Every structure is written in C-alpha cells, then in structure tokens.
Structure 1
Amino acid sequence: MSSGIRFDRVCVAYGRQTVLDALDLTVEPGEVMALLGPSGSGKTTALRAVAGFVRPASGRIFIGERDVTGLPPHQRGIGMVVQQYALFPHMRVQDNVAFGMKAQKVAKAEIPGRVAEALEMTGMASYAKRFPRELSGGQQQRVAIARALAIRPGVLLLDEPLSALDAQLRSGMLAELARLHRELPDVSILYVTHDQVEALTLADRIAVMDRARLQDCGTPQELYRTPRTEFTASFVGNANLLAVTVRGPGAVSFADAELKVHTGEVISGATATLCVRPHLVGLGDGPNAVTGKVAEVQWRGATHRLYVEVGGERVKADLRELRTPPALGDEVTLHFAPEDAVLLAGGVTDG
C-alpha cells in the first residue's frame, strides 16, 4: 500500500536554535523526493522527524492520512537506511534482514520468504549466511537496504546512504537504487543528500534546503534549467552568476556588453543576477559575446574548464574537444544563446 508524506508547518528547535523552520512539503505516494542542501540546512532533521527520532516543536507530520507526529518510530510503518549501515556485527546477513520483521511480530513462517525476497531484490541472495565483517562497504549497504525493504514499508527514508562509499561504488549503487524504485513504484522515498548528482539522478523532485528553511522545490529539470533563486542555481549544478543591470525589455548590461535575455517582469534600471550554466557557454563569436582574459585552465578529461576574467568577474566555460586550449593571459571571446540564460531578480549575494 502506497503512502505519501506531508510536512505541515513543521518546526524543530534545540533550545533557542531553530534547526527546521516551518517546513511545508508533500511527498506524493510513489515519489522519490530528494532533500538537497549543505550541512546544517535542516534536511536530516526533517528526515529524522518523519522517522520519529525528533519531535517537532510545532506543526504536524502525516504518513498517508495518518497523523504520526506523536507516534513512536516502530508504529510508523517506515524503512530507514543510514550512511553507516548500522548492521549488527554478530548477526549473519539473513538475521540482520529479518530483524525488523521480528520487531514487528511478523509471523515466523513468513519471515524466511521475505528475507529471501529482499536479498534477491538487492543482489545479496548468495551472501545470506555471511557476517557483515565479511562484506565490502557496498555489500553492507545493500544488506541495510534489504533490511529496510523486508518490512514492506510504504515509506523508505534514506539518509546520505552512499556517502561512505567510494566514487565507483557510489555510481553502481545509484543505478541499483534507481532500479529498485522502478521495481517498487508504490514506495515513497525521502532521500537526504548533499550530493547534487545523486539528487539529479534519482529524484522525481528535489527540495532545496538552506539555513533550516525550504528554499525551492521542483523537478530536477526545472531546478537546473530555470532556477528561481541564486542559492538553487549555485547548489543544483554549477552556474555562472553574473551581476547585471536591466536596460529594458529583453536587454541587460554586463561589463561593457549589452546582452539579450528574457527579462520577464524585472524593471528597467534594476540590478539582477544572470544565471548561465558553464556547458552552455561557447568559445568564439556568437550571440551575447563578451571578451576577457583567460585566468585559469583546468583539464577535466572530457572537457576543459576555462575561467575568463570579464569586467572584474570570472566567467566559467566548459568546452569539449579543445585540442589546443587557450593559454593563461590570452584574450578570448565567449558567447551564449539568449534562451540559455535565466535572469534572477536581485544582485549577486555572498554565500
């Protein structure tokens, strides 16, 4: 049975410090929602409030139609996976996976079949009789996921589940989690991460958190292509955030250049921020051309990252297949299409 999650003006405070401020957010049944933000943004607190490990100072939490705000964790019908696996070292894999079902008093005759099902689903069926110490980090994380799935939760909470893995294992586990979601379309997943690649890869929607508050929420494509705030633009993907002045409908000035962009309702004379993704910036003449000097060149395998000083600001450009990249100090021209820029009201801010 599928269940969604709803935060209704949820506040969490430790003494006088507010760590989650009036969170209103709904995770639809069967949806993967990523909570994305830096350390201290409130994302893990929100997840722990759903789990029942943190009691809100105000507001309510619903799982499906049930108000679970005052319920203990074991009565909420959730599965949870944390970054350090939390497996019992003295128990074999099969006993670790069975643990949650025993706590829920599932019929003994039913447990072996559900253990086998969960281990098969996570690719760990052949490791059932091993101890955690005999497994790699990635394998231990699969067991932790199997344990969470074995109780057949309507809601699955994932708290930085891949942060302890190296890059190659993390990539493989991302693919596994995406596959699991396809096989379990009724399970709502709340996924806490500070890694934008994980959020963009897995989530149906991303809730961007900062300083205890929800800053933005939308599909990965929406937040990447048309961010609504500077924080979203800088935290979801990489972005040039350029201070510009609006000159009129469809026109802004940057450095000594006039650029054509969609200005929307931003009034003439206002300062604003122009967001352009580095991979959408080209080298050479073209629309919205600006000229500057190369300050830094980084080879990144498939691309070169150029940092070009333009009017006192650094513009980043990610360029493919540069057999002979410009040298430091060279004067170059960069350009971008008007439709590839997003104008954000307000000037560039620190942080």
Structure 2
Amino acid sequence: MSPGNPAATAAPSGIRFDGVSVAYGENTVLDRLDLTVEPGEVMALLGPSGSGKTTALRAVAGFVRPASGRVLIGGRDVTPLPPNQRGIGMVVQQYALFPHLKVKDNVAFGLKAHRTPKAEIAGRVTEALELVGMAAYAARYPRELSGGQQQRVAIARALAIRPGVLLLDEPLSALDARLRSGMLAELARLHRELPDVSILYVTHDQVEALTLADRIAVMDRARLQDCGTPEELYRRPRTEFTASFVGNANLLPVTVTGPGRVDLAGTALDVPTDTAAPGAAATLCVRPHLVGIGAGPNALTGTVTEVQWRGSTHRVHAEVAGHRLMADLRELRDPPALGDPVTLHFASEDAVLLPAGTAPEATESPEAPETPKKAQAVASG
C-alpha cells in the first residue's frame, strides 16, 4: 500500500454470491443469488422495494446470515465472519454520523475500531477527507454541515480503513435533486480514483444505476432477474421487467406472423423476430424517445390521452389499439391536444421483441430489518 494514497488498498477485493439465500421464518427474502462483482467493478443492485437488493448487501456486510450459500470477498469465504473482520466500508442513506463527534473523529472511528496504530490515524483521516473534498471541515460537527457534506464525511469514514469492498446502500436518497446530481459526479470521480475497490451500490433509482454502474443486477421478488452493462439492459433488455424498470418502455402485446413480422391488433409491423416461431405470443419493446410523430415506418394510429411538457421534450401518451403508447418528442411548437388523432412510428431496428409473460408482478416481501446505526458505523469505518 502506498503511503498517502487512500486509493491504494491491501484489502481483498471482489465479491461473490454463491447460491445465497436469506429467510425470516418461512419468508424467503433472497433466493439462491449467484452473482460476481469483479475487483474494481461497480455493480448496482437495482429493483423495487422488497426485491432483495438490500438483503444482498447486508449479507456481504455481515449484518444478516444466509440460510444457505456463501459470501466470498477476494476469494475468501467470509460467511461466518463478523462485519469488522470482512475488510469492507459501508455508507447508508441516513449517514449514521455520531452527532457528538467532530468530522475528524467520525472518520477516525472505524480506524480506532480496527485498532489502527495511533500514529497513523491522523494521516489516514486527512487522506480520506481530502479524497472527498472535506479536509477543511475536519473540526466541524455534523450539525454544521449540509446533507451532501455529511454524506461525503460518511464516505470518507468508509474509505479511511482502505477497504477492498465499498457497500453503498441508497446513499443519495435523502438528498434533494441538485445535491444528488452533484454527489453522482463525486461518486463517479471516486470510482476513477479507486480503481481496485469493488463497489456494490444498492438503489431503486434508474439514473443512479445507469450513471455509475459498470454492470447492473436487476432484482425482483427476492431473485436476480437480469444482469448486464447499462447499455445492454437499456438497448436490448431480455425481459419485460428489465425493460420497464431500466428506463421507460412501451410494451405492446404482439403475435409473430413470420420472419421479421408481427401483428398488433391487425396492424402488421416490421421488427426483428430472431428465432421466434410464427404464431408465438411476444411483447414488443420500444423506448419512448425512439418513437416519432407523423408518417413513417411501422406507423400506428391512435388518440392522444395525455400531453406532458418536460422542458426539452413533450411526452405524448396515445391509445393505440387499446394499448398505451408513449412518445418523447423534441421541439414540438404545436403539440397535439387531448382527444386529437395522432400517428406515431418507429424504426424496425429500434424495436426489441421479448418473450411474453416476463414481467413478474411486483409484490412486497419483507426485507432485512434496519441495521443499528452503531453497527453500520463499525463496519464502515
């Protein structure tokens, strides 16, 4: 480890979930998760409330014990180890700073818990605070900081122990939109400066996942539904659930009529069908920003049901053959009105054909109970 460089870490990196299941009584909240986070990779766990994503993160942290399976960090089985022996840093949405301690003492807390030599602590605290741009606030109390500044201190505390794995549990959800945007940029910068640290990022926010993650694992109903790069999941989703949860999507039920041809309520459309057999039911996925207005390929006629002005675009909702179709249209000087007839179209190459019935109904399942703030602080440093 290089002195004075908090980005250099001797702690093991990389995470592997090996068939990890977590249950509370008869309720399974994480079901046979197999997933690998490579050294230096940012993996986002994305999903609705109750999907199992937070339980997965807490299994890595050591706050919940799997009913079956193993959690490995840097190739080492850490399943039986307590949180403070796993070499991890953790940041949660509530910051979990100690209000009676100054910033520098909050950051030093984990170092002391890990029995770092006293002579090293001051330097390590300064390094971590400089990394997040908070060195000038070392003598302040948390109450004297903004929400974004408090979150930076929480990140500095997690980094001070030089972890191989950094766990982020909805770290930006308590911030307003402007601060959240700024912190996204800061987290992206930190990722560049910590090339050896594996980051597991839990969020329900699509923008955060698409902005920060090298790969996204989509969770629902305690199971992993899909995993891939942000571009793969956005441009070529494999299921209806992924298409609807990673960005907005038009999902239209169609029937395959032949190679490159489908039928939507009597309208023939040209779309890639790959190996789908004629007569098969399928779901047509088209992103709203790829839908145009007026005549064009794959034209669909309907009635405008809603128009939303969004600054740079108008989102037009139309009823087409009994189904809703959304279009994000730029620079409309004369947008259609409610009840107007409208023709919308899309290019064949912008459509993705998905297997029908791949959108599981969202159900609330119990997640892991809240982790005591002190325990979180010990784990995160």
TM-score (normalised: structure 2): 0.91
Equivalent residue for 2:161? 151
Q: What is the deviation of 1:255? A: 2.6
Equivalent residue for 2:376? none
1:121 aligned to 124, 131, 139, which one? 131
Q: Aligned partners of 1:203, 1:65: CA distance in 2, in Å?
A: 22
Give the letter aligned to residue 241 of structure 1: L
Whether contact under 8 Å (1:272, 1:348) holds in the other structure is no
2:216 aligned to 206, 214, 217, which one? 206
Q: What is the deviation of 1:350? A: 6.9
Whether contact under 8 Å (1:271, 1:347) holds in the other structure is no
**Partner SS for 1:182:** helix
Equivalent positions of 1:65-76 (< 5 A) are: 65-76=75-86
Q: Aligned partners of 2:258, 2:316: CA distance in 1, in Å?
A: 30
Cα deviation 1:94-149 (Å, max 9, x = unaligned): 00001101111111111111111111110111100000011111110000000000
Mind listing any 5+ residue stretches in structure 2 that lack a counterpart?
Answer: 1-9, 362-381
Equivalent residue for 1:269? 279
Q: Aligned partners of 1:348, 1:91: CA distance in 2, in Å?
A: 50
Cα deviation 1:192-220 (Å, max 9, x = unaligned): 00000000000000000000000000000
Whether contact under 8 Å (1:296, 1:308) holds in the other structure is yes
Q: What is the deviation of 1:256? A: 2.9
Tell me, yes or no, if structure 1 residue 279 matches structure 2 residue 289.
yes
Mind listing any 5+ residue stretches in structure 1 that lack a counterpart?
Answer: none
Equivalent positions of 1:18-33 (< 5 A) are: 18-33=28-43
Q: Aligned partners of 1:348, 1:318: CA distance in 2, in Å?
A: 25
Cα deviation 1:226-253 (Å, max 9, x = unaligned): 0000000000000000000100110001
Equivalent residue for 1:344? 354
Q: Aligned partners of 2:355, 2:184: CA distance in 1, in Å?
A: 35
2:198 aligned to 164, 188, 194, which one? 188
The CA RMSD over aligned residues, in Å, is 0.9
| 118 and 348 in structure 1: CA distance in 2 versus 1, 3 angstrom threshold | closer
Identity of aligned residues (%): 81
Equivalent positions of 1:99-248 (< 5 A) are: 99-248=109-258
- Greater relative contact order (CA < 8 Å, ≥ 6 in sequence): 2
Equivalent positions of 1:62-101 (< 5 A) are: 62-101=72-111
Q: Which moves more between the two structures, 328-337 or 149-158?
A: 328-337
Equivalent positions of 1:307-318 (< 5 A) are: 307-318=317-328
Whether contact under 8 Å (2:103, 2:139) holds in the other structure is yes
Q: Aligned partners of 1:225, 1:349: CA distance in 2, in Å?
A: 17
Whether contact under 8 Å (1:243, 1:347) holds in the other structure is no
Whether contact under 8 Å (1:307, 1:316) holds in the other structure is yes
Equivalent residue for 2:367? none
**Partner SS for 1:80:** strand
Give the letter aligned to residue 196 of structure 2: D
**Partner SS for 1:181:** helix
**Partner SS for 1:168:** helix
Residues matched between the structures, number: 351
Equivalent residue for 1:300? 310
Give the letter aligned to residue 294 of structure 2: G
Q: Aligned partners of 2:58, 2:190: CA distance in 1, in Å?
A: 22
Q: Aligned partners of 1:349, 1:328: CA distance in 2, in Å?
A: 30
Equivalent residue for 1:328? 338
Tell me, yes or no, if structure 1 residue 255 matches structure 2 residue 265.
yes
Q: What is the deviation of 1:329? A: 1.3
Q: Aligned partners of 2:114, 2:89: CA distance in 1, in Å?
A: 12
**Partner SS for 2:319:** strand
Q: Aligned partners of 1:199, 1:329: CA distance in 2, in Å?
A: 37
Q: Which moves more between the two structures, 172-181 or 1-10?
A: 1-10
Give the letter aligned to residue 101 of structure 1: L
| 103 and 350 in structure 1: CA distance in 2 versus 1, 3 angstrom threshold | closer
Q: Aligned partners of 2:338, 2:23: CA distance in 1, in Å?
A: 50
Whether contact under 8 Å (1:230, 1:348) holds in the other structure is yes
1:8 aligned to 11, 14, 18, which one? 18
Q: What is the deviation of 1:299? A: 0.5
Q: What is the deviation of 1:348? A: 7.3
